Amino acid sequence: MARFEQERNFLKSNFVEFKKIRTDKMNGFPKPPSVKAYDALSKTITLPEVSENVVKKQHIHDLIKNRRSTRFYSDEHLSIEELSYLLWATQGITGTTKNGLTLRTVPCSGATHTFETYLFIMRVDGIPQGIYRYLPVEHQLLFMFKLDEIDNKLDAITLEQPFVPNFAKKAAIAFAWSTTPYRSEWKYDISAHKKILIDIGHVSQNLYLTSESIEAGACAIGIYDQMMVDDILQLDGEEEFVVFMAAVGKKQK
């Protein structure tokens, strides 16, 4: 099927072609920063130290078995400790390589970690509603801005949901993971893009399993309006853009 050919090729390993390329890294271009910079005068919230006390279900076997995409949420708030745990589980730093790369709770091709985590916070105890960015090195939240009608804006971004219409606006929080592809392209050139998509799958699965462990539920969101979300999060849409989203909330009983 000719019209699928190009997209299917994207799924294949292009390692042989990649071997013929001199990457920007080989050509001596400077290594891009591994995390996004921020203004030191910005308002930040220090997240509580990650503690397993928030975990209500411990058994990995049960978490894997019982995980489902959850699209019906109660009005219950998440606690700031639970949010701290979910952020750590999806992008938290747990080590560094001898070359200064971060190692995190999720595996990632060549430890390139091209993602930034943006949050639509609707219902978390002690955190005003608004748009935030996770600072993994500091384990802090960077307050970006208050967004009027945050739930309706999220609804507009995630329109045309096939299973449960308008579910995201009822979540306690929504994750929007951006990618800065050059962090991987610098090293992997044309083979970066497939890797980035595989990497984000690992992030999402950790969110699913840890949400389940705190008796909340997550639902991945691949159907979203690219331009609208990039625009709201003030991303340029070329060097950095949203690559995946997910909603999380306490489950409706």
Ligand X SMILES: Cc1cc2nc3c(=O)[nH]c(=O)nc-3n(C[C@H](O)[C@H](O)[C@H](O)COP(=O)(O)O)c2cc1C
* Residue ranges binding ligand X (CB under 6 A): 68-69, 71, 161, 163, 219-223
**Closest CB 174 distance from ligand X, rounded Å:** 12
Radius of gyration of the chain (CA): 18
**Closest CB 25 distance from ligand X, rounded Å:** 29
| Residue 71 or 194 having the CB closest to ligand X | 71
| Residue 74 or 161 having the CB closest to ligand X | 161
CB distance 97 to 34 below 8 Å: no
Indicate the pairing of strand 130-135 with strand 140-145: antiparallel
Of 38, 23, 228, whose CA–CA distance to 112 is shortest? 23
CB distance 174 to 120 below 8 Å: yes
**Closest CB 10 distance from ligand X, rounded Å:** 15
| Residue 141 or 207 having the CB closest to ligand X | 207
**Closest CB 168 distance from ligand X, rounded Å:** 8
- Cα–Cα distance, 70 to 128 (Å, whole number): 24
The pair of three-digit structure tokens given for residue 93, joined into one six-digit string:
């730093």
Determine the residue with CB nearest ligand X.
Answer: 222
| Residue 15 or 163 having the CB closest to ligand X | 163
